[in-house]
C-alpha cells in the first residue's frame, strides 16, 4: 500500500496548523502576512538557501495562494528549482509555475529554456514533468519554442509509453492554443496508427489528439475511421477479464470506448461495407449489453456502462442512417426516462432531444410525450426540468403543438425563474411555427404576457404585432382580445404596449360594439397611461394620434390630453415633443393629409423570426441544426415564413419600431421600403414627426427616416467589407509611408492607432485598438495575410495574439514583429473582426509596412555619390517618373518627406540647390541594397522628376512608386 | 475538455483548484465561489450535472460534481466530454487518493496539497484525460515516492558533511578533499 504522506516538511505542517487554529479571518490574514514577510526575507537575504528550503517555501506559497491570496514573488525561486537535479525540487518548481505563472509572464523564456533542457535530457520522469508543465500552460510562446521537440517525442520509436501518452496530450494542447505555430510534418501521417498501439493509455491520449486534428481536416485523417472501428470492436467484444487493468468495474476500457465513439461522430457512416457492418455490430453489442443484468450493484458499474451506451446512442443519432438502430436507441432512452437514477433521466432527456430531430425516430420520440410532461411537472431537480423543456420543444410538431404549448404555459406559472425567459421564447416560437389558427397564436402570446410579462422580451411582442399586421384575418380578433385583456385591473406593461399598438391600428374593427366603442377604448388605454414608463407612454401617444384618424369623434378628448400640462410640459423631452407635434398635426392638417400620414401600417417583409435569432444567441446548443431543416418544411403556413433574408433587407427603409438609438438591430431594416405610404412610425420613439413633413408625402418623411435609420443602423454597416479594403484604408495607409506613428483607421466603433520602429531589417509595430463604444466588443479577431507570394519571400510577420474581448472604452495593444527577407511591393492586409451588439463587423486595412521603412540613411560626398550613381547604370536598376505635384512645391516640406522616407538628404552634391540628392541602404535578411535617389522639382510646371537607382533589380521601381504617392 | 478541477469543503473552503485554461487570480477565486454557491444549495439526490455557471465558458459549459462526506469534487467541462465518463473519472481520482493516503480525509488534502496535485497530474493533463487505469497511476506515484525517499537521504548527506567540516576547522583539508570520480553521464542508460 503506497503512502504519499512520507516524511513531509515540518515547517509547512506547522504553518498549516497555525492557519487552521486561527480563530478569525483577521488572525489568519495576520499569520499569512507574517509568513509572507518571512519567506520574502529568506528569498532576498539568504543566498545559501538549499533546495529543501526553497521547496518548503514554495510549498507554503502554494498553500497561501489556494486560500485566495495573491502571490507576487517567489517566481524566480521556482524557476531556479527547475534546473535542480533532484526530482522533488524540480517537481515542486514545475507545479508552482503551472499553477501560478500566467502565459505572459516575463520569466516564460527561462521556463521554456528549462523545459527544453529537460526534454533534451533522457530522463523520462523529467521529460514527463516538463510535458505536464507545457500542457497545463500551453502558451503560444511555448508552442513556438517547442514545436519541433514534442511531435518528435510522440512518434519516435524509443519513447516510452508514458512519455508518449503525455506528449500526445501536450501536442493537443499546443494545437488548441496556437494551431499555426506547430509545423505539420511527417508525424501527421504516423499519428493515426497510434490507435493500434499496445498500450491503452497511449491509445486514449492519441484518440483525443486525433479527434482535434480531424475536426480541422477530416479528409486528411480519414484512415482513422477503420482503425477506430476495429479498435472499438476489439474492446466491445472482449470479456471484462481481457483488458485487466483497463477494465473499470467490469466494463472494458470505458474511457477509450467513449473517445472512439466521439471520434467517429466526426465522420459520416463508413463507406466500406465491411467497416460499416463491423461498426453496426459494435453498436448492437453495446445496446444488447444494456439489457443484460448488471454485473455489480455499484453505481460506478452502471455509470461506466452507460457512459459508453450514451455515446453509442449519440453516434447512432449522428449517423442517422439505420432506422432499426435509431428506434432501439429511442426505446433504450425511453427506459431511462423512468429510471430511478436522476443522472440517467437527465441524460436520456438530453439525448432524446437529438433523436427528435431525426426523421426516422421523431415519431418514436413522440410516444414518450406523456412521460416528459410528467417529468416537467414532477422532477425535483431544475437541471432535469430544463432538459424536459428542451425535449418538449424539440419533439413539438403540428400534431402535438397545441398540447405541448398548453403544458408549457401551465408550467410557466410555477417555473423556476432561471428558465422562464428561455421558456417564454420557446413557447412563442412554437406557437408561431405551428399555428394553424392565428387566433390561437394571439391567445398564446397574450397569455405569455399575462403569466410571465417580465420575461417577455421585446422580440416577442414585436413579433406578435408583425404577425397581426401581416394577417388581416386575425386583426379583428386581436383587437377584441387585447381589449379584453386590458380590462384586467392590473396588467403588465408589455400588455399595454401590445394593446396600444393593436388598438391604434385596428381599434376601428371592434368599435361597432358599443361596449368597446371609440371612447371606451381610449379611456381604457388612458387609464393605464400614468402607470407606464415614458417609453410606453410615447407609444400610447402615437396610438392616440392614430385614434384621431380612426375616430374623429373623440378628437377633442385626445387633443385635451395632448394639451395637458402633464404632457406638453413633461420633463421627458420625447413626450413633450410628441405631444406638441401630434397636437399640431391634428390641428392644422386636413383630414386627407391626416389619413395619409396615419394610414394603417403596411405589411412587414417576411423574414426569420427575431425570437429564433435571440434563442440561438442565448443558447446556441438548444437549436440543433436539424431543426432548422424541419422549420423550412414546417413553414408551409402561408403568412410568416422563416426565411433567412435578414441581411438582404433593402438599404433604404423606415425604422418602424426603433426606440431611439437603443433599437434592436433586428428591427432596423424593417418597414415599407418602397415608400408607397408615408406612415408615422407608431413605435419609433426616436423619430419625431414634424408637422411640415406630411405635405411632402412620402419623400420628406422617408428622407427623415433615412437619416435616422442610417444613424441607428450605422454600427451594423460600418466598415463592412465589400470584398476589398474598408473605406479610407488606402489613404490612411499612404500617410504612413513617410511616418511611423498615427491613426490608421477610425469609425464610430473603433479607433486604430499605429506605432512602429525599425532597425535594419527588423521592424516592430504596435497596433492599438480603442473601443469607442460603451459596449464590449466580443470575439475580437485580427488576422494578417500577405498578398501573393510575399509570404514566402518578402516579409516575415509574427503576430502576438490579441484578447477575445475589448472592454467598453478600453484600448488593446497588439505587437507585430516583421523582418524584411527581401524586397516586397504589397503591404500585408489585416482583417479585424468582432461582434458589436451581436452584429459581425469586419474591417480590412493595409498594415503600414512598406519597403522604405527598412532603409537606413547613408551619408556620402558628391564624388562617391556620382561614382556609385554611374555604376548603377543597367535599366533594371533605375526607375524614373515624372510626377505632377499635388500641393505647391515647398523645399522644407519635401526635405521632411525624404527624411521620413528614411533616406539622407545630401547637401552640396547637386550644383542646383533646389534639387535633392539622397542615399540609403536597404537592409533585408539576405542582403543589403544600396539606394540612390534624385528628386528635381520644377516650380513653374509644378512637376517633379524622380529618379531612383538601386543595386538590386525591382527595388528601384518599388521605392519610386512609394515615393511618388507622397509628392 | 476539462476547464477546471475544484475541490472545496461544505463551507466553501478551497482544498484544491486547478485551472487548465488561463484565468487571472481574482477570477479564479470568483469561479470557486460561484461554483460553490451553485453546487452547495443542491440536494444530494438530485443529478450530478448542472449548467448555469456564468464565469467559465458560457453556454458550452457544464459542472459535473460529486459530494463525498465533507468535500465536493467539481469538474468544469465543455460539451466534448461525456458526463458519466467524468463522473467515473472523479471516482477514479478519489479512489486513487484513498489508496495513496490510506483512507483519505480532508486533512490529507490540506497538509499535502502538493501531493494531491501530483496525483491529479497523473490523471489529467492540460485538461484532457491522461490515464484512467488506477494500477498504472499508483505505480507512477510509487515511483515518485521512492525517488523522494532516496533524495531525502542524499539531501541529508551534504548537511552532515558540512557540519563535520566545521568541526575540523582546518581550511586546508577542504582544499585537499577530492570528489570521487563520477561515471560519465553519457554511459548512463535509462
Q: Any CB–CB contact under 8 A between A84 and chain B?
A: no
Average pLDDT over residues B141-155: 80
With residue A577 as reference, give the H or E element that holds it.
helix A573-588
Residue A191's Cβ-count burial label (10 Å; 0-12, 13-18, 19+) is buried
Cβ contact (<8 Å) for A245 and B144? no
**A621 CB near a chain B CB, below 8 Å?**
yes
Q: How far is B138 from chain A (nearest CA, A)?
A: 8
Closest chain A C-alpha to B189 CA, distance in angstroms: 8
| Calpha distance A687→A658 (Å, rounded) | 8
Chain B positions touching A614 (Cβ under 8 A) are none
Find the mean pLDDT for residues A942-953.
Answer: 87
Residue from the list A70, A91, A300 with its beta carbon closest to the beta carbon of B88: A300
Residue B51 has pLDDT above 90, yes or no: no
Per-residue pLDDT at B161? 53
Give burial (CB, 10 Å; 0-12/13-18/19+) of B94.
middle
So what's the pLDDT on residue B10? 92
Section B64-70 average pLDDT = 91
Higher pLDDT, A633 or A232: A232
Q: Which of B16, B47, B126 sits opposite A136 (nearest CB)?
A: B126
How many whole angstroms separate alpha carbon A79 and alpha carbon A88?
14
SS3 at position A812: strand
Measured between alpha carbons, how far is A219 from A201 in angstroms, rounded to an integer?
A: 26
Q: Which residue has the cell 527598412?
A: A854
Cβ within 8 Å, pair A87-B152: no
A8 contacts on B by Cβ (under 8 Å): 111-112
pLDDT of B178 higher than 80: no
Mean pLDDT of A215-225: 88
Grid coordinates representing A205 are: 491520449
Scan for cell 472494458, then name that residue.
Answer: A252
pLDDT band at A747 (very low <50, low <70, confident <90, very high): confident
In this prediction, residues A181-195 reach a mean pLDDT of: 81
**Of A617 and A693, the one with more pLDDT:** A617
In contact, A168 and A205? CB cutoff 8 Å: yes
Q: Is A310 within 8 Å of B138 when comparing Cβ atoms?
A: no
pLDDT given at position B75: 95
Confidence check: pLDDT of A537 > 50: yes
Across residues A921-944, what is the average pLDDT?
85
Location of C-alpha cell 366603442: A517
The minimum CA-CA distance between A303 and chain B, rounded to whole Å, is: 6
What per-residue confidence (pLDDT) applies to A284? 93
Least confident of A160-174, A600-614, A697-711: A697-711
For A221-274, the pLDDT digits (tens) are: 888 999 999 999 999 887 666 666 788 888 888 999 999 999 999 999 998 999
Which of the residue ranges A265-274, A299-308, A728-737, B152-161 would you say has the lowest mean pLDDT? B152-161
Cα A253 from Cα A235, distance rounded (Å)? 7
A586 within 8 A of A549, measured Cβ to Cβ: no
pLDDT band at B7 (very low <50, low <70, confident <90, very high): very high
Q: Chain A: residue nearest B153 by CA?
A: A7
B190 in helix, strand or coil?
A: coil
Nearest-CB residue to A255 (from B45, B102, B132)? B132
All residues at 6 or more sequence positions from A378 whose CB lies less than 8 Å from its CB, including other chains: none
Rounded distance, CA A365 to CA A384, Å?
A: 17
Cα–Cα dist A97/A108, whole Å: 9
- What local confidence, expressed as pLDDT, does residue A828 receive? 83
Q: What is the pLDDT of residue A704?
A: 34
Q: How far apart are CA B15 and CA B31, in angstroms?
A: 14
Using CA atoms, how far apart are residues A619 and A605, in angstroms rounded to an integer?
A: 26
Residue A123, chain B, CB below 8 Å: the answer is: yes
**Residue B133 distance to chain A (closest CA, Å):** 5
Contacts of B47 in chain A (CB under 8 A): 342-343, 345-346, 381, 383-384
By the CB < 8 Å criterion, does A138 face chain B?
Answer: yes
Unique residue bearing C-alpha cell 526553497? A54
Q: Does B27 touch chain A (CB under 8 A)?
A: no
Cross-chain residue pair B46–A342, CB shorter than 8 Å:
yes
**Chain B residue closest in CA terms to A419:** B52
% of chain A with per-residue pLDDT over 70: 85
CA distances (Å), A493 to each of A354, A455, A485, A486, A487, in order? Answer: 37, 12, 12, 10, 13
A478 touches chain B (CB under 8 A): no
Cβ contacts of B85 on chain A, cutoff 8 Å: 254-255, 258, 307
HSE toward the beta carbon, residue A187, CA cutoff 13 A:
22
Nearest to A343 among B43, B49, B158 (CB): B49
pLDDT for the residue numbered B16: 92
For residue A147, the distance in angstroms to the closest alpha carbon of chain B comes to 16
What mean pLDDT do residues B76-80 have?
89
Say whether residue A257 is in contact with chain B using an 8 A CB cutoff: no
- Chain B touched by A85 (CB under 8 Å): no
Q: Among A2, A214, A248, pick the best mutation site for testing chain B contact (most B Cβ within 10 A).
A: A2
Alpha-carbon gap, residue A231 to A212, rounded angstroms: 19
Q: What is the pLDDT of residue B77?
A: 92
Bridge partners of A831, per DSSP, are A783, A844
ipTM above 0.90, yes or no: no
For A872, which DSSP code?
Answer: -
Dist. CA A471–CA A440, nearest whole Å: 13
Least confident range of A49-58, A610-619, A675-684, A748-757: A675-684
pLDDT (mean) for B91-116:
89
Which comes out higher in pLDDT, residue A635 or A327?
A327
- Whether the per-residue pLDDT at A659 is higher than 80: the answer is no
- H-state helical runs in A551-683: 555-563, 565-568, 573-588, 591-597, 610-618, 625-634, 665-668
How many C-beta atoms lie closer than 10 Å to residue A567's C-beta?
A: 21
Q: How many CB pairs under 8 A join A and B?
A: 206
Report d(CA B131, CA A262) in Å as an integer: 18
CB-based contact (8 Å) between B121 and chain A? yes
pLDDT at A718 over 50: no
Set of chain B residues whose Cβ sits within 8 Å of the Cβ of A138: 126
The three grid cell numbers given for residue B5, joined into one nine-digit string: 478541477
Q: Are A68 and B29 in contact (CB < 8 Å)?
A: yes
Contact at CB, B24 and A66, closer than 8 angstroms: no
Contacts for A306 with CB less than 8 Å, ≥ 6 apart = A290, A344, A347, B84
Q: Hey, what's the cell of A240?
A: 471484462
At residue A365, the pLDDT reads 86
In whole angstroms, give the CA distance from residue A118 to residue A150.
12
Lowest model confidence (mean pLDDT) among A32-36, A96-100, B116-120: A96-100
Looking at residues A737-747, what average pLDDT do you find?
A: 83
Determine the average pLDDT of the residues in B45-68.
81
Helix (H) or strand (E) holding A752: strand A750-759
Question: CB atoms < 10 A from the CB of B143, how many?
Answer: 14
Let me know: does A89 contact B8? Beta carbons within 8 Å.
no
pLDDT confidence of residue A241: 62
Residue B93's pLDDT band (cuts 50, 70, 90)? very high
> Which neighbouring-strand residues pair with A644?
none
d(CA A168, CA A153): 9
- Contact state of B132 with A123 under an 8 Å Cβ cutoff: no
The interface residues of chain B toward chain A in range 56-95, judged by CB-CB distance below 8 A, are 59-60, 79-80, 82-85, 87-89, 91-92
Average pLDDT for A942-966:
86
Contacting residues of B for A102, CB less than 8 Å apart: 22, 24
Strand order in the sheet with A829-836: A778-785, A829-836, A839-846
Which burial class, exposed, middle or buried, applies to A340 when counting CB atoms under 10 A from its CB (0-12, 13-18, 19+)?
exposed
* pLDDT per residue as tens digits for the range A539-554: 999 889 888 888 888 8
The stretch A750-774 carries a mean pLDDT of 85
Of B83, B132, B159, the CB nearest to A248: B132
Contact check, Cβ <8 Å, A303/B88: yes
| Contact (CB<8Å) B148/A87 | yes
Across all residues in chain A, what is the average pLDDT? 80
Count other C-beta atoms under 10 Å from residue A707's C-beta. Answer: 11
What is the model's pLDDT at position A724?
A: 61
**What is the rounded CA–CA span in Å between residue A372 and residue A151?**
49
Contact call for A131 and B60, based on CB within 8 A? no
Cβ contact A6–B145 (<8 Å): yes
- Assess A245–B contact: CB distance below 8 Å, yes or no: yes
- Subunit contact B14:A66, Cβ cutoff 8 A: yes
**Separation between Cα atoms, residue A943 and residue A964, nearest integer Å:** 11
Mean pLDDT of B159-163: 49
- Which pLDDT belongs to residue A166? 92
Amino acid at each position: 500500500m503506497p503512502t504519499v504522506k512520507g516524511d513531509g516538511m515540518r515547517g509547512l505542517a506547522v504553518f498549516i496548523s497555525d492557519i487552521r487554529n486561527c480563530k478569525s479571518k483577521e488572525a489568519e490574514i495576520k499569520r499569512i502576512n507574517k509568513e509572507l514577510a518571512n519567506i520574502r526575507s529568506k528569498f532576498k537575504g539568504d543566498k545559501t538557501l538549499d533546495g529543501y528550503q526553497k521547496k518548503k517555501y514554495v510549498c507554503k506559497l502554494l498553500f497561501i495562494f489556494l486560500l485566495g491570496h495573491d502571490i507576487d514573488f517567489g517566481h524566480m525561486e521556482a524557476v531556479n528549482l527547475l534546473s535542480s537535479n533532484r526530482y522533488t525540487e524540480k517537481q515542486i518548481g514545475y507545479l508552482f509555475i503551472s499553477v501560478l505563472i500566467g502565459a505572459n509572464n516575463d520569466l516564460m523564456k527561462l521556463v521554456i529554456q528549462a523545459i527544453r533542457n529537460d526534454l533534451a535530457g533522457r530522463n523520462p520522469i523529467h521529460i514527463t514533468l516538463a510535458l505536464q508543465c507545457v500542457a497545463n500552460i500551453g502558451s503560444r510562446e511555448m508552442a513556438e519554442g517547442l514545436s519541433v521537440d514534442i511531435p518528435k517525442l510522440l512518434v519516435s520509436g524509443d519513447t516510452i509509453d508514458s512519455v508518449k501518452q503525455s506528449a500526445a496530450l501536450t501536442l493537443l494542447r499546443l494545437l488548441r492554443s496556437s494551431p499555426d505555430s506547430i509545423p505539420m510534418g511527417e508525424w501527421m501521417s504516423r499519428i493515426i496508427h497510434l490507435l493500434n498501439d499496445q498500450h491503452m493509455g497511449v491509445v486514449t491520449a492519441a484518440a483525443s489528439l486525433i479527434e482535434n486534428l480531424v475536426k480541422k481536416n477530416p479528409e486528411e485523417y480519414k484512415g482513422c475511421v477503420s482503425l477506430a472501428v476495429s479498435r472499438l470492436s476489439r474492446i466491445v467484444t472482449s470479456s471484462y477479464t481481457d483488458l485487466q487493468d483497463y477494465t473499470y468495474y467490469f466494463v472494458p476500457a470505458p474511457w477509450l470506448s467513449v473517445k472512439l465513439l466521439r471520434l467517429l461522430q466526426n465522420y459520416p457512416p463508413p463507406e466500406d461495407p465491411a467497416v460499416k457492418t463491423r461498426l453496426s455490430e459494435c453498436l448492437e453489442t453495446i445496446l444488447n449489453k444494456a439489457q443484460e443484468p448488471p454485473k455489480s450493484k455499484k453505481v460506478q458499474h452502471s455509470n461506466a456502462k452507460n457512459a459508453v451506451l450514451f455515446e453509442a446512442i449519440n453516434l447512432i443519432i449522428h449517423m442517422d442512417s439505420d432506422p432499426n438502430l435509431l428506434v432501439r436507441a429511442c426505446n433504450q432512452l425511453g427506459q431511462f426516462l423512468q429510471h430511478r437514477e436522476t443522472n440517467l433521466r437527465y441524460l436520456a432527456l438530453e439525448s432524446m432531444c437529438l433523436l427528435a430531430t431525426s426523421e426516422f425516430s421523431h415519431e418514436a420520440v413522440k410516444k414518450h410525450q406523456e412521460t416528459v410532461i410528467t417529468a416537467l411537472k414532477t422532477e425535483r431537480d431544475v437541471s432535469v426540468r430544463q432538459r424536459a423543456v428542451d425535449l418538449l420543444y424539440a419533439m413539438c410538431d403540428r400534431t402535438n403543438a397545441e398540447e405541448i404549448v398548453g403544458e408549457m404555459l401551465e408550467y410557466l406559472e410555477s417555473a423556476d425563474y432561471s428558465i422562464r425567459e428561455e421558456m417564454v421564447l420557446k413557447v412563442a416560437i412554437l406557437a408561431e411555427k405551428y399555428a394553424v389558427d392565428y387566433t390561437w397564436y394571439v391567445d398564446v402570446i397574450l397569455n405569455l404576457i399575462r403569466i410571465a410579462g417580465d420575461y417577455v422580451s421585446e422580440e416577442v411582442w414585436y413579433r406578435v404585432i408583425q404577425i397581426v399586421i401581416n394577417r388581416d384575418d386575425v386583426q379583428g380578433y386581436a383587437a377584441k382580445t387585447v381589449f379584453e385583456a386590458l380590462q384586467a385591473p392590473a396588467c403588465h406593461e408589455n400588455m399595454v404596449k401590445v394593446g396600444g399598438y393593436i388598438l391604434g391600428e385596428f381599434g376601428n374593427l371592434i368599435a361597432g360594439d358599443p361596449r368597446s366603442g371609440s371612447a371606451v377604448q381610449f379611456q381604457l388605454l388612458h387609464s393605464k397611461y400614468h402607470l407606464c414608463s415614458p417609453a410606453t407612454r410615447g407609444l400610447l401617444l402615437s396610438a392616440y394620434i392614430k385614434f384621431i384618424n380612426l375616430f374623429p369623434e373623440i378628437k377633442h378628448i385626445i387633443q385635451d390630453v395632448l394639451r395637458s400640462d402633464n404632457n406638453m410640459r413633461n420633463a421627458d423631452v420625447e413626450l413633450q415633443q410628441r405631444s406638441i407635434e401630434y397636437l399640431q398635426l391634428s390641428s392644422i392638417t386636413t383630414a386627407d393629409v391626416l389619413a395619409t400620414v396615419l394610414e394603417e401600417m403596411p405589411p412587414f417583409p417576411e423574414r426569420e423570426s427575431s425570437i429564433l435569432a435571440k434563442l440561438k444567441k442565448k443558447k446556441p446548443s438548444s437549436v440543433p441544426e436539424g431543426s432548422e431543416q424541419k422549420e423550412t418544411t414546417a413553414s408551409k403556413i402561408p403568412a410568416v415564413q422563416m426565411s433567412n433574408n435578414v441581411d438582404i433587407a433593402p438599404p433604404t427603409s423606415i425604422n418602424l419600431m426603433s426606440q431611439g438609438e437603443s433599437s434592436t438591430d433586428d428591427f432596423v431594416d424593417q418597414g415599407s421600403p418602397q415608400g408607397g405610404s408615408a406612415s408615422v412610425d407608431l413605435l419609433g420613439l426616436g423619430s419625431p414627426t414634424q408637422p411640415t413633413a406630411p405635405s411632402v408625402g412620402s419623400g420628406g418623411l422617408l428622407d427623415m427616416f433615412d437619416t435616422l435609420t442610417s444613424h441607428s443602423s450605422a454600427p451594423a454597416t460600418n466598415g463592412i467589407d465589400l470584398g476589398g479594403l474598408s473605406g479610407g484604408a488606402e489613404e490612411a495607409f499612404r500617410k504612413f509611408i513617410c511616418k511611423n506613428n498615427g491613426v490608421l483607421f477610425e469609425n464610430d466603433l473603433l479607433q486604430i492607432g499605429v506605432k512602429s520602429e525599425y532597425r535594419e531589417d527588423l521592424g516592430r509595430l504596435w497596433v492599438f485598438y480603442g473601443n469607442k463604444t460603451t459596449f464590449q466588443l466580443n470575439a475580437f479577431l485580427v488576422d494578417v495575410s500577405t498578398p501573393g507570394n510575399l509570404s514566402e519571400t518578402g516579409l516575415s510577420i509574427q503576430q502576438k495574439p490579441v484578447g477575445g474581448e475589448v472592454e467598453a472604452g478600453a484600448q488593446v495593444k497588439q505587437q507585430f514583429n516583421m523582418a524584411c527577407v527581401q524586397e516586397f511591393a504589397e503591404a500585408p492586409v489585416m482583417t479585424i473582426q468582432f461582434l458589436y451588439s451581436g452584429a459581425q463587423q469586419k474591417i480590412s486595412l493595409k498594415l503600414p509596412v512598406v519597403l522604405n521603412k527598412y532603409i537606413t540613411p547613408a551619408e556620402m560626398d558628391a564624388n562617391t555619390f556620382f561614382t556609385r550613381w554611374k555604376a548603377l547604370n543597367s535599366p533594371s536598376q533605375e526607375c524614373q517618373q515624372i510626377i505632377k505635384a499635388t500641393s505647391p512645391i515647398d523645399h522644407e516640406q519635401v526635405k521632411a518627406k525624404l527624411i521620413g522616407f528614411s533616406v539622407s538628404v545630401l547637401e552640396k552634391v547637386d550644383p542646383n540647390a533646389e534639387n535633392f540628392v539622397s542615399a540609403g541602404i536597404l537592409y533585408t535578411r539576405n542582403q543589403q541594397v544600396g539606394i540612390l535617389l534624385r528628386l528635381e522639382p520644377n516650380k513653374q510646371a509644378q512637376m517633379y522628376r524622380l529618379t531612383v537607382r538601386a543595386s538590386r533589380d525591382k527595388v528601384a521601381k518599388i521605392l519610386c512608386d512609394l515615393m511618388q504617392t507622397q509628392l | 475538455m476539462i476547464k477546471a478541477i475544484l475541490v472545496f469543503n461544505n463551507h466553501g473552503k478551497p482544498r484544491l483548484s486547478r485551472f487548465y485554461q488561463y484565468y487571472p487570480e481574482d477570477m479564479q477565486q470568483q469561479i470557486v465561489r460561484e461554483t460553490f454557491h451553485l453546487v452547495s444549495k443542491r440536494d444530494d439526490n438530485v443529478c450530478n450535472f448542472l449548467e448555469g455557471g456564468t464565469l467559465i465558458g458560457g453556454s458550452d459549459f457544464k459542472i459535473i460534481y460529486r459530494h463525498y462526506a465533507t468535500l465536493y469534487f467539481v469538474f468544469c467541462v465543455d460539451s466534448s466530454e461525456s458526463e458519466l465518463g467524468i463522473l467515473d473519472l472523479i471516482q477514479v481520482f478519489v479512489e486513487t487518493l484513498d489508496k495513496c493516503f490510506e483512507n483519505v480525509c480532508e486533512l490529507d488534502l490540506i497538509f499535502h496539497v502538493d501531493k494531491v496535485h501530483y496525483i491529479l497530474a497523473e490523471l489529467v493533463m492540460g485538461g484532457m484525460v491522461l490515464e484512467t487505469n488506477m494500477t498504472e497511476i499508483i505505480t507512477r506515484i510509487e515511483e515518485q515516492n521512492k525517488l523522494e525517499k532516496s533524495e531525502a537521504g542524499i539531501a541529508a548527506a551534504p548537511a552532515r558533511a558540512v557540519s563535520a567540516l566545521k568541526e575540523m576547522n582546518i581550511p586546508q583539508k577542504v582544499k585537499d578533499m577530492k570528489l570521487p570520480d563520477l561515471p560519465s553521464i553519457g554511459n548512463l542508460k535509462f
